[in-house]
Chains A and B, each alone.
Chain A
C-alpha cells in the first residue's frame, strides 16, 4: 500500500513537472550562490514565464566544449569577452535577437550572438586612509616608491589578470615589457584568482589590488565604508563585459527568447548593480540605483575585440611572465 502511494505520488510529480517547462541556464558558480544575482533573477523570471528556471553551475566554457551538441543548456550566462571567440567557434549558439542599440555600454557593441548583461573596468583599488598619495595616472603608478605594494592576479588563471595584461598592452603597446619591469618592484605577489588578491588587500597585506571600478560600490552600499577607492587613470581603463547566449539546439526556444528579452528589461537591469556589484548593460545612468551615478568611472575606455585579443593574448602573457620572472 505504502509503495503504491509512493508510486502514485512520484507519477503525479512527474506529470506536474512535464507540464511546467524547464529552462536550463548554465552559469558561473558565484552567480547562483545566495550572494550572487541568481536567486533574485530566478524568482523574478519565474513570476513572468510560468516556467521552472533551473541553474546548472560549473566552468562554463570547458563544460560546453566537453558536452558539445549534447549539452542540456538552453541559455548560457556569464561568458566573458575573452572566451566568446572559443564559444562562438563551437557553433552551439544562435543569434540573441535583441536590439543592440538599446545597450548603454561605453563601447559600440555589434555582436548578434553574445548579448552583454553587465560590465565594469579593471582598476587598482586603494584605501584612502592608508594611502596619502594615490597614483593619478598609469605613469604615476609606474613611478610609485618601492615600498608601495600591489597585488595582482595571474593572467594565465584569472580573467581579471588577463584583462590587466591587455590593459597594459593597450596603453603602452611595444613598451609593455619595460612597464612590467618598472612595476615588478611594486608587485608584492600574484594570486591564482581575484578572491585571494582581494583578501590580501582587505587584510592590509597589500596597499593596492587589481580589481574593478565597481569594487568601491560594495563597500559603500553594503558596508557603509567610504574609504576604498578606485584610482582613475586618464590613459583609460580596460573594459570587461559578461554576456548571455542562447543555445541553438534548445528544446525551449520560446522560453530562451523570453529570457533574453528579460535580460534587456528594466527589471533585470536594476537587479544587476547591487546583486552583482557591476554596471547594468542596458540602463541609462540616470536610472541607476541611488548613489551609483556618483561612483567615479573612467572617461576613456580601452577594449580589444575578441579577434584582436586572441592575436595579442599569448604574447602579452609571455611579456608579463618574462619580465616578472627575472
Chain B
C-alpha cells in the first residue's frame, strides 16, 4: 500500500483516538471510583452535545467558548444526579447503580427523542472545515484541537488525582471504601464529586466533538461501546490508560478500515475488547487485583 496513505491512516487513527480518549476520560474516573459501568455515559454525552448545539444556534456561543458553561453545568448536573437519584436509590450496592444508570440512559434517551426528535444535527462554524496540512494529509483543525485538549485534559486529571487532597480522597475511596470512611472521608460526597467530574469531562468532550461530528438522541451508542473498550484496555481509573487505550483503539479502527474496509474494519475494536478481557482483565495500566 502507498506509504502516504499509511501515514495518513496513522495520523487519522491517532486523531480518532483523541476523540475516544475525550469520551473515555470521564468514564474511567467513574469506573475507577464507583466500580460500576455507567450506562448513562452515552446519554450524558448526548445531552451535553445538544447543550453545545443550542448554545450556538440560539445564543451564538462558540462551541469552544461553550466549555466555560458546559463544564460547570455538567459537573453540577452529575453531582446533583448522584446525590438526588443514583446514591439514594442504590442503597450502597454496586449492582443497583448499574441498573439505575441503565434506567437513566433509557429515560434520558427517550425524553431527548421526544424533545429533539430523532433528527441528527450538525453545526457549521468558521473553522469547522479549516484544514491543516499535516504530512501527507489534510487534517481538520477541530480534530487537531480535540486531540490536544484530550491529552491536556487527561494530564490535568492525572495531576489532580495525584497532587490534590480531593484527588487523594478519590483514590482512597476507589481503593478501599471502608478504610476511607474510617479515616473520615465522606464517601458519598466523593462518589458524587467523581460522578460530577466524570460528567464535566463529557461537557468538555461535547464542546470539542460538535464541530467535528453530529448529534442525535442516539449519538451515545456511537461512542459508548468504544469508550468502554478504551477504559478496559487502558485500565479502569487510569488516565494514562485512557490516552494509550484511545490511541490503540483509534489506530486499530483506522487500519482495520484501511485493510478490511469500513464494513469489517470495526471488528478490530471488538477483538481488542475480548482479548484484553481474556489476557489482562485489569488493562494495560490498571492495578492488578
Partners in one complex: no
B residues contacting A by CB (< 8 A) are: none
Q: A residues within 8 Å of B by Cβ?
A: none
